Amino acid sequence: LVARMRPFGTTVFAEMSALAVRTGAVNLGQGFPDTDGPPEMLAAAAEALRSGHNQYPPGPGVPVLRRAVAEHQLRFHGLTYDPDGEVVVTAGATEAVAASILALCEPGDEVICFEPYYDSYAASVALAGAVRRPVTLRPGDDGRYAFDPDELRAAFGPRTRLVLLNSPHNPTGKVFTAPELALVADLCREHDVYAVTDEVYEHLVFTDAAATHLPLATLPGMWERTLRISSAGKTFSCTGWKVGWVSGPAPLVSAVLRVKQFLTYVNAAPLQPAVAVALALPDDYYTGFRDSLQRQRDLLIGGLTDAGFTVLTPEGTYFVTADITGLGGRDGLEFCRSLPERCGVVAVPTQVFYDDAEAGRRLVRFAFCKRPEVLTEAVTRLRGLA
Ligand code: PMP
Ligand code: GLN
């Protein structure tokens, strides 16, 4: 194995999902829903399979999906992208992130990201021979995660090539506020660097959040320097389909396509038109989806609090993080490895998403993208810890 990949073992999601299978525990580790997405989307996929959409689709993605992606961004965020040249379909957001970094970074270039960060980011940066510059998100007295603006300023330097920003943020559930985004945008313009935004949870911002979701590309001077990434997996409960997309100015998107064509070439021909159907669903779908996730969040938070965790209420995403100190826990990794035996529930230690593991030592992440009866069972088991 090449040196640049040696620091990366098996992903924590694979380890914890295997642990759940082995022990029969309720799996609140890996973030995947246990229900299927909208029936209209599933029917469209079945129809596409039956009607001959089974060969390589066009390199940038099928036109009907690229159009739907562009219309969706105009409808929800007022962002304008030309479906021909400014939108490319990818094998999930994961490929979009990897291809964007590989397309923009020379070896030695620096990528600023907020830690804890989604685990593929570090690997994609390493594959490009680039260097990550994490800025730490820490829970404040108000229960919200925040970064130190001076730490962010200090992260920018002559080798900074891009900022990789995930909001709503996995694993913290943080939704970056308008002033926070304005600072990120100011620094990107000042240092003339690109932004790559991972917005896979764009439709999962809860009604009691302090912020609404604001794509970085909507800020002044940012559209022209931002690659905006999203995917169908989270919004339409189809994480196994791996249909994502990246939008941005034509020169940047064509650079991504240059790389992408040699990573996967294309993917998911019969699923692409089905995702187009889903993107066009009326607003009711999106608000109903958010409301059910918010109820699931509250159910889980109640159980975690009763069990003795200190919960950091998420403003968005599929996830809640909690501090284990109240339960006598000192190390989240140890805690998560023993949790299935202690109470039959699997969670994910947040420390694995930090370079500064100490900052996340006592934090663990639970997924609530599960049916209420599954969460109720998990909560019953967790209460046994108290
Ligand atoms: N980014 C974040 C923040 C995620 O949480 C996930 C998956 N859970 C991804 C990217 C990957 O998305 P996809 O499955 O579309 O590749
Ligand atoms: N994004 C999902 C999570 O954070 C997992 C995806 C994966 O297993 N790679 O749980």
Pick the CATH number of 3-30+284-383 from 3.30.70.270, 3.30.930.10, 3.90.1150.10, 3.30.70.1250: 3.90.1150.10
Task: Report whether residue 202 contacts ligand 1, using a CB cutoff of 6 Å.
Answer: no
Peptide bond into 171 cis (omega under 30): yes
Single pTM value for the model: 0.97
Pick from 97, 113, 231, 321 the residue to mutate for probing ligand 1's pocket: most ligand atoms within 8 Å of its CB: 231
Kindly compute the dihedral angle of the four CA atoms of residues 379, 383, 385, 386, in this order, to the nearest 10 degrees.
150
Nearest ligand to residue 201 Cα: 1
pLDDT in the model for residue 179: 98
pLDDT in the model for residue 110: 98
Strand ranges for 110-212 from DSSP E: 110-115, 131-136, 138-139, 145-146, 160-166, 194-198
Ligand 2 interacting residues, C-beta cut-off 6 A = 11, 13, 30-31, 170
pLDDT in the model for residue 247: 99
Instruction: Give the DSSP per-residue string, 285-317.
Output: HHHHHHHHHHHHHHHHHHHHHHHT-EEE--SBS
Pick the CATH number of 39-279 from 2.60.34.10, 3.30.1360.30, 3.40.640.10, 3.30.70.20: 3.40.640.10
Give the distance (Å) from ligand 1 centre to CA of residue 23. 26
Query: pLDDT tens-digit profile of 163-174?
Result: 999 999 999 999
Nearest ligand to residue 168 Cα: 1
Give the distance (Å) from ligand 1 centre to CA of residue 93. 5
Residue 320 in 3-state DSSP?
strand
Task: Report whether residue 118 contacts ligand 1, using a CB cutoff of 6 Å.
Answer: yes
Which sign, positive or negative, has the C-alpha torsion 306, 307, 310, 313?
negative
Kindly compute the dihedral angle of the four CA atoms of residues 370, 371, 372, 375, in this order, to the nearest 10 degrees.
-40
In terms of C-beta distances under 8 Å and separation of at least 24 residues, what long-range contacts does 297-303 make, across chains too? 297/206, 297/368, 299/368, 299/372, 299/375, 299/376, 299/379, 300/28, 300/366, 300/368, 300/375, 300/378, 300/379, 302/379, 303/375, 303/378, 303/379, 303/380, 303/382, 303/383
Its ipTM equals 0.97
Residues in the chain predicted with pLDDT less than 70, given as ranges, are none
Query: pLDDT tens-digit profile of 123-144?
Result: 999 999 999 999 999 999 888 9
Give domain limits for the chain: 3-30+284-383, 39-279
Pick from 16, 32, 124 the residue to mutate for probing ligand 2's pocket: most ligand atoms within 8 Å of its CB: 32
Burial 69-90 (b: 16+ CB within 10 A, else e): bbebbeeebebebebeebbbbb
Give the distance (Å) from ligand 1 centre to CA of residue 94. 6
Q: Token pair for residue 101?
A: 């970094």
Give the distance (Å) from ligand 1 centre to CA of residue 215. 17
**Residue bearing the CA closest to ligand 2, atom 8:** 13
Task: Report whether residue 199 contacts ligand 1, using a CB cutoff of 6 Å.
Answer: no
pLDDT in the model for residue 368: 98
pLDDT in the model for residue 386: 82
Q: Are 93 and 116 in contact (CB under 8 A)?
A: no
Residues facing residue 320 across a β-bridge: 366
pLDDT in the model for residue 10: 87
d(CA 91, CA 342) in angstroms, rounded, equals 38
Task: Report whether residue 244 contacts ligand 1, using a CB cutoff of 6 Å.
Answer: yes
Give the phi and the psi of residue 144 in degrees, each rounded to 5. Answer: -105, 145
pLDDT in the model for residue 1: 94
